Amino acid sequence: MKITVKEPQGKKSRQQVGVFHKKTIMFLSLRSENTLFGMGNPLLDISAVVDKDFLDKYGLQPNGVILAEDKHKELFDELVQRNKVEYHAGGSTQNSVKIAQWMLQKPHKVATFFGCIGTDRFGEILKKKADEAHVDAHYYQQNEEPTGTCAACITGDNRSLVANLAAANCYKKEKHLDLDSNWELVEKAKVYYIAGFFLTVSPESIFKVAKHASDNNKIFGLNLSAPFISQFFKEPLMKVMPYVDILFGNETEAATFAKELGFGTDDIAEIAKKTQNLPKENTKRQRIVVFTQGKDDTVATVGEKVTMFPVLDIDQNDIVDTNGAGDAFVGGFLSALVQEHSLEECIRAGHYAANVIIRRVGCTFPEKPDFH
């Protein structure tokens, strides 16, 4: 980015202007393009209002969250054909980097995103939606599986989610991450974030990015994402753990993780401390552990202590949809992290973003944040 420095008028202001521009240049460099890197399962979120007959036809619960089976194959096309639909770029990691970009506003494309999609209409819509969110998405496109989708079937205040990972499951390290032009974008970043869900798709890609971050004293963040990750993908999770600088999760995921590792406690502060003390490759950075607990305090390791951070108050009647709250918290947190703000400020930004998102349907947001 080119910055023009105007020659100050008069001697007394020369020094002041110099200091001002030094700060401005530093501020801009912290928020340059491709500073934040995310990789995960991209899904096109398709939201539409449906009736009870539609739910019954596909065996859906009003507030269910399920993975699509064969009987749901026609659901996505029918949803699009018979209803006015809204499309959004979704999937856990993509949601988080999208929210980080929204919190930062300018410049565009601070956030980079890698993931796999199909060569189809939904893939084209997803590319357009990521572009509208000003995220620099570089998708690996293949034609064996269609673009991953998540249908949000809305009835009244309820929202039934049906996810079809499809192409998202097909990411190939050697066909995308290893390409020089793509790896250059990885090298350009200073902060990395991947949701644990991606451990089910390409653990070798996660490992390569995590090791790069560690070897270069950059920041690598990972999310526990869901209890089943700790239960059934414990081996790849623990292989990448020594490279994790910031671990995110919620209270349920933390409890499952502790059980799987035999921590012998269900006290969330103790779990955070024991997790912080797990073996770590880059000893220049002490691991930070951040566990959210819905409406209860967020728990975080701050140096040698474990600290509780109260969330923002909200009237229960203002809560519309809590599904994207975790992704939003991470997005807010990352937006402050790339600006090298303190841990306290990162958590405050995370709480703000989550508070905005739970007032709306899906992981959506107003045009601009009101965060200071």
311: number of Cβ within 10 Å: 20
Query: Helix or strand or coil: residue 21?
Result: helix
E-strand ranges in 50-205 read 65-67, 86-90, 111-118, 136-142, 149-155, 158-164, 191-195
Is 296 among the residues known to form the active site?
Answer: no
Please identify which of the residues 245, 266, 327, 370 carries the catalytic annotation. Answer: 327
* Full DSSP string of 322-361: -TTHHHHHHHHHHHHHTTT--HHHHHHHHHHHHHHHTTSS
With residue 127 as reference, give the H or E element that holds it.
helix 121-132
Which residues, 6 or more positions from 210, have their beta carbon under 8 angstroms from its beta carbon?
192, 194, 220, 222, 240, 243, 244
* DSSP bridge pairs for 39: 114
d(CA 177, CA 301) in angstroms, rounded, equals 32
With residue 300 as reference, give the H or E element that holds it.
strand 296-302
Give the side-chain half-sphere CA count within 13 A for 188: 21
The catalytic residues are: 327
